[in-house]
Structure 1
Amino acid sequence: MEIVRPPERSALASFLRARRAALRPEEVGLPVDPRRRVTGLRREEVARLAGISVEYYRRVEQGSGHRMSLQVCASIARALRLDRAGAAYLHRLATAGSEVTYELHQDEGPSPELVELITLWDHTAAYIIDRNQDVLVSNDLMRAVAPGYVEVGNNVGLMQFEAPPELRAAPSWQEGARTTVSRLRYHGSPADARWQEVVALLLEDEDFADLWQRHEAHPLTSGRAPNHFDGYGWVDLRWQVLEAHPGLYTLICYGTPGSVGERALAELAAGLREGRVSVPDGAVATPTSGSRLSRYRGTGPGGPRSVYSQGHDSPAAGS
Structure 2
Amino acid sequence: MDRENALGRFLRARRELLPPEEVGLPVGERRRVAGLRREEVAGLAGVSTDYYIRLEQGRERHPSAQVVDALARTLCLEEDATAYLHRLARPDGGRRRPPARREQVSLSLLRMMDAWPHTPAVVLGRRLTVLASNVLGKALFDGHAYSGDLVRLVFLDPDARDFYPDWDRVAVNTVAGLRAGADPDDARLIEVVGELSLKSDAFRRLWARHDIRQKTHETKRFRHPLVGELTLRYESLTVNSASGQQLVVYQADPGSPSEEALSLLGSLTADSHVHRPADGDARRPADSGVRQPERTRADRPES
Scaled by the length of structure 2, the TM-score of the pair is: 0.82
Give the structure 2 partner of residue 268 of structure 1: 265
Q: Which has the higher contact order (CA 8 A, sep 6+)?
A: 1
SS at 2:59 equivalent? coil
* CA shift digits 1:291-318 (9 cap, x unpaired): xxxxxxxxxxxxxx5499461144299x
* 1:26 match: 21
- Which residue does the alignment assign to 1:257? 254
Alignment check: 8 A CA contact 1:137 1:309 kept = no
Separation in structure 2 between the aligned mates of residue 174 and residue 52 of structure 1, nearest angstrom: 37
RMSD of Structure 2 on Structure 1 (CA): 3.1
Structure 1 residue 17, shift from structure 2 partner: 0.6
316 and 215 in structure 1: CA distance in 2 versus 1, 3 angstrom threshold: closer
SS of residue in 2 equivalent to 1:203? helix
Q: Give the match for residue 285 of structure 1.
A: none
Aligned to 2:300: none
CA drift of 1:105 comes to 8.0
Question: Counterpart in 2 of 1:295?
Answer: none
Give the letter aligned to residue 104 of structure 2.
G
**Structure 2 Cα separation of the partners of residues 121 and 98 of structure 1:** 46
Q: Cα–Cα, structure 1 residues 149 and 99, in superposed 2: closer, same or farther, change >3 Å?
A: farther
Cα drift, residue 206 of structure 1: 1.0
Aligned to 2:297: none
Distance 1:174 1:96, change over 3 A: farther
Closer/same/farther in 2, CA of residues 118 and 105 from structure 1, 3 Å limit: farther
* Residues 111 and 310, structure 1, Cα contact 8 Å, conserved in 2: no
Q: Which runs of 4+ in 1 moved over 6 A?
A: none
Alpha-carbon distance between aligned partners in 2 of 1:75 and 1:316, rounded to the nearest angstrom:
51
TM alignment of 1:30-45, pairs within 5 A: 30-45=25-40
Matched residue, 1:115: 110
Q: Say whether the 8 Å CA contact 2:215–2:236 is kept in structure 1.
A: yes
Unmatched tracts of structure 2, length 5 or more: 290-303
Residues 119 and 281 (structure 1), Cα distance of their counterparts in 2 relative to 1, 3 Å cut = closer
Corresponding residue number in structure 1 for 2:186: 192
CA shift, 1:184, in A, is 0.5
Over 3 Å counting, the alpha-carbon distance change for 1:78 and 1:211 in structure 2 is same
SS in 1 for 2:161: helix
Residue deviations 1:236-288, cap 9 Å, x none?
Answer: 33321111124110011222334332211112223445x3xx12688xxxxxx
- CA spacing shift, 1:151–1:208, aligned 2, 3 Å: closer
Report how far residue 64 of structure 1 moved: 2.1
Work out whether 1:164 is the aligned partner of 2:136.
Answer: no
- Structure 2 CA distance for aligned equivalents of residues 99 and 171 of structure 1: 46
1:226 equivalent among 222, 227, 230: 222
d(CA) in 1 for partners of 2:164, 2:94: 38
SS of equivalent to 1:68: coil
Give the distance between the partners of 2:221 and 2:165, measured in 1 at CA.
9
Q: 1:202 to 1:228 in 2, by over 3 A?
A: same
Q: CA 1:136/1:166 → structure 2, altered by over 3 Å: closer, same or farther?
A: closer
SS in 2 for 1:161: helix
Offset of residue 37 of structure 1: 0.9
Q: Following TM superposition, by how much is the alpha carbon of 1:20 offset from its aligned partner in structure 2, in angstroms?
A: 0.5
Q: Deviations over 1:93-133 (max 9, x none)?
A: 11264899x9x984463322111111232111111111111
2:26 and 2:117 map into 1 onto residues whose CA distance is 59
**Secondary structure, aligned partner of 2:238:** strand
Q: Any gaps of 5 or more consecutive residues in structure 1?
A: 1-5, 283-304
In percent, how many aligned pairs have the same letter?
A: 37
The question of whether the paired residues in 2 share the 8 Å contact of 1:229 and 1:235 is answered with no
Map 1:288-299 to 2 at 5 A: none
